[in-house]
Structures are given as C-alpha cells and as structure tokens.
Amino acid sequence: MNCFWSAPLLVSLLGAPPELPKSFDLTAVDTYIAGQVKAKGFVGLSVAVMRDGKIVFAKGYGQRSIEKNLPVEPGTSFAVGSITKQFTCACVLLLAEQGKLSIDDPVSKYYPNLTRAKDITLRDLMNHTAGYPDYYPLDFVDRRMLKPISTDALLKEYAGGKLDFEPGARFSYSNTGYILLGGVVEKVSGASFGTFVETRLLKPLKMEHARFGSSAGLSAATGYTAFALGAPEPAEPEAGGWIDAAGGLWASASDLLQWDLALTTGKVLKPESYKVMTAPRTLTTGKVSNYACGLQIATVDGNTVLEHTGGVSGFVSANTFIPRARTGIVVLSNTEHVSTSKLRGELFRLLLKDVEARDVPPVPKVAGVGPKEAVLGLIEEMTGGKVDRTKLGEEYSVYLTDERVKTGGARLKALGAPEKVEVRGTYERGGMEVATVILTYKTATVRALLYRTPDGKIQQLLYYAE
C-alpha cells in the first residue's frame, strides 16, 4: 500500500477519448471525464471539485458494482487507502493539544519492546523517517494479508527486527509506522482507533459518507482488479488488522474536500499543530523531505499544495488541495488496474490554471472606443499636427509637447497608412487598461503601448520598434 500508487496503464480498446478542455469549464470537464471513463475502462470513478471553499462539482461515473449493476453516485463511498494517514496524524496532534502525549515522545513510552524504541519518536513515524520496514510495499494482497492479524503481532513482526536505516536519516514510506501510531492513539485515549476517529473527526465535520474500518451502512463501491488487461473481477480485500490506521478509511469525494477545508481553515487543529502537520522534515543528513505528517507538501507555480494518494485492494484515490485558494480536487476509483495519474494530473492543472486566472486583476472597462481605434485616432491627430488634449491625462498631455507632436507626427506620417493593426492583448495595471497594439507598415512594424483610465482618457501612448 504505497503513498504514490500507480497501476499499469490499461490500453484503451474502446476508441479515442475526447480532447482535454482548455479551461476548467465544468460542462466540458464533465464530458471529458465521462469520455475517459469509457475509453480507459474504469469500472467506476468519483470526482469532486471545490472552489473558494464551496463544492461546485461532485459526480459519479460508471458502476460501483458490476454484479448488481449499480451506478457511482456523488455520495458513493470508496476505500481511500493512505489518505487515512492525515486523519491518523490529526488524531495524534489532537491528543498532543490535550497534553496527553507529545509528538516527540519516544516509541518506548508506549511500545518499549520494539527495535530502537528509545531512539524513534512519534514524529519520526508520522514523517516516515523511523526506519521500520514497510509491511505493505507491494500493490497486491499477498498470502499474509488474507488472514487477520493483531496490532501487536504486526508490530512485533515488522517493528521488532532490523531497521532499514538510522532513525531520522532518510524518508522511506512505511505503513508500519502508522499502524504503530494507531496503537498509540488507542493506548492514550482509551478508545478504539475507529471510535476516536469517528467521534473526534468524522462526526463533528459532518462527513456523512465516511466510516472507519468498514463500509457497513454506506452506499459503498466494490473494489475491482484485473491482471494483464483482463476483465475486472472483485478484488480480495485485506483481512482485519492489516490496514487500519494506515489506510482503513471509507469516504466520498465530497467528504474529503470538506475535510481539506476544515483542516486548512483551523477547524480541526490549533495553528501550532497545523504548522507541525504541514512542515517538511529536515533529516539528520541536512536533506529536506517534503513529506510532513500524512501529507506531501509541494510548491506548484508558487502555490503550496497539500496532496496524498492512496491504494488498497481494488481502490485508488487522490486528494489534492491548495489552501490559500480553498480549492481542490478529489478523484476516487474502484478500479485498481487502471491508473488515474494522468487524468487527475490533467484536471489539477486545469484547476490550477483557473485559480491563477482568478488571481489576475480584471481589466477595467474603459469608456469610449476600443484600443485599436484609440491608437489610430491619436496617430491621425499627431500626423495632422494637432492633438485634442481633452482626451489625454494631465501628465501625458504635459509629456506630449507640441514639439513631440510635430516631430513624432512627421515620422509616423512618413510610414504611410498601416497595412495591419492588431490588438495583442490587454491587462490591468494601476487601475488602468493596458493594451498592446501592433501596427504593421510597409517598411516597419511598430508596437504601441496604450494606457487608459476608465474615463477613456489616454494616460500613455508610446511607440517601440519591433
């Protein structure tokens, strides 16, 4: 059960999918996803999008059950695998806020018989820097995991032997550490891990389609797998005890976006705890790991992005969120043999493009004629030797002396009439409309940069040789 799980790409035998939209237009995106589900052979898919703190898109595609011919609906719950880890870390930090533990407590305080328990902290477990071997490094359920196992037995087997590396020296993804964290939560809280998660996180946040450990009572998807491009068949789930605090959560796509918003806006943890949860880890070697506590921290086009993927038997998931914009996307699939990586990457880039576009100040609406007409009008006045200064801003009118009108007008007149005039684009600066106008003459090309205030007055018109 890897954090960055990726199944082999299924070769489409169902025809070419529709083209990716050029913007995050919800209707076009819906059509694109539906086409991808059909073309790539997904059994089922659920996608939800949040913009500015509001869920603006939540839709299911394909089937949650082939055998029962049931569709994926917006409220369908999926096993979300390793996305569970951020909930596990939040539980640990909540207990730390109550003074019941410290994330720098040594493992020996709770499990004294484990390897190097005095040298490994809870923080190491959350950051995947403890060195305990991962009990689930593969992407299929092997014979071990078909039989139930207790937490103590799992930890004795996988945290009671040789370490993979010195504690704190490396990042290496390990589900073992998260099973251990779940055990710590139980010992400290006196409740089962599932009860603690549900009473402290899922119910208060009204995650109505979320449960821990079991999909009982939910409208849940069945997980499917296939081998070597074969037909999908129900996947054999991991037996009891094998995923728990490392990957035992069920949720809908919208549930996870509600979680993202609550976590990043201070409704789950205190500011100092959230800072810990999202802080990259500096290793003993001086190298920095961008895996914080149950979250991968990335910087994309200047935006901090919180993300995590998940994979358990029959399911893959991805949760990506941009805290400053309160915007994110969740993609859940019950088809472990078809990769969602390309699709979710494409959708996230479109969403990020939308976020960036909303950051750009709108171009002011300017009274009067358009940029092309304004430039040609002033050029005509200059070549005629007389300018209507009521159309000019005060400073530009002072700058545009009679001498400049005379000499500049003569040079422009010598070029003759432009053969082509093109507005290359407009943007906002200082509350003004800025327009670039390209004038193509027989013997020269001139770039005119026009600044106008909303009242239509020209505050600048300068000319540059192209």
* Each residue's pLDDT tens digit, 339-363: 999 999 999 999 999 998 888 788 9
Domain that holds residue 378: 371-465
pLDDT confidence of residue 412: 95
Q: Do 195 and 341 belong to one domain?
A: yes
Q: Do 283 and 304 belong to one domain?
A: yes
Q: Do 399 and 261 belong to one domain?
A: no
Q: Do 317 and 403 belong to one domain?
A: no
pLDDT one-digit tens code per residue, 361-386: 889 999 999 999 999 999 999 999 99
Q: Do 269 and 156 belong to one domain?
A: yes
21-30, 121-130, 217-226: range with lowest mean pLDDT: 21-30
Q: Is 38 exposed, middle or buried (0-12, 13-18, 19+ CB in 10 A)?
A: middle
On whether residue 160 sits in a domain, the answer given is: yes
Q: Do 266 and 319 belong to one domain?
A: yes
Question: What's the rounded Cα separation, in Å, for the pair 322 and 327?
Answer: 5
Q: How many CB atoms lie within 10 A of CB 325?
A: 19
Q: Do 32 and 159 belong to one domain?
A: yes
pLDDT confidence of residue 103: 98
On whether residue 17 sits in a domain, the answer given is: no
Q: Do 339 and 399 belong to one domain?
A: no
- Reply yes or no on whether the pLDDT at 421 is more than 90: yes
Tell me the two tokens of residue 61: 């595609």
Q: CB–CB of 454/443 below 8 Å?
A: no
Q: Do 30 and 141 belong to one domain?
A: yes
Q: What is the mean pLDDT of residues 156-184?
A: 97
| Amino acid identity at 150 | S
Q: Do 437 and 354 belong to one domain?
A: no
Q: Do 299 and 403 belong to one domain?
A: no
- Reply yes or no on whether the pLDDT at 6 is more than 80: no
Q: Do 348 and 409 belong to one domain?
A: no
Could you give the number of structural domains in the chain?
Answer: 2
Largest CA distance in the chain: 94
- Reply yes or no on whether the pLDDT at 210 is more than 70: yes
Residue 10 pLDDT grade (very low, low, confident, very high; cuts 50, 70, 90): very low
On whether residue 6 sits in a domain, the answer given is: no
Residue 465 pLDDT grade (very low, low, confident, very high; cuts 50, 70, 90): very high
**pTM for the structure as a whole:** 0.82
State which of 359, 384, 406 marks the end of a domain.
359
Q: What are the angstrom distances between the C-alpha of 156 and each of 138, 177, 179, 404?
A: 20, 12, 12, 87
CATH of the domain at 411: 3.10.450.590
CATH of the domain at 346: 3.40.710.10
On whether residue 169 sits in a domain, the answer given is: yes
On whether residue 422 sits in a domain, the answer given is: yes
- Reply yes or no on whether the pLDDT at 9 is more than 50: no
On whether residue 7 sits in a domain, the answer given is: no
- Reply yes or no on whether the pLDDT at 110 is more than 80: yes
- Reply yes or no on whether the pLDDT at 2 is more than 50: no
The C-alpha torsion from 102 through 106 and 111 to 115, rounded to 10°, is 150
On whether residue 258 sits in a domain, the answer given is: yes
On whether residue 402 sits in a domain, the answer given is: yes
CA-based torsion, 415, 416, 421, 426: positive or negative: positive
pLDDT one-digit tens code per residue, 233-278: 999 999 999 999 999 999 999 999 999 999 999 999 999 999 999 9
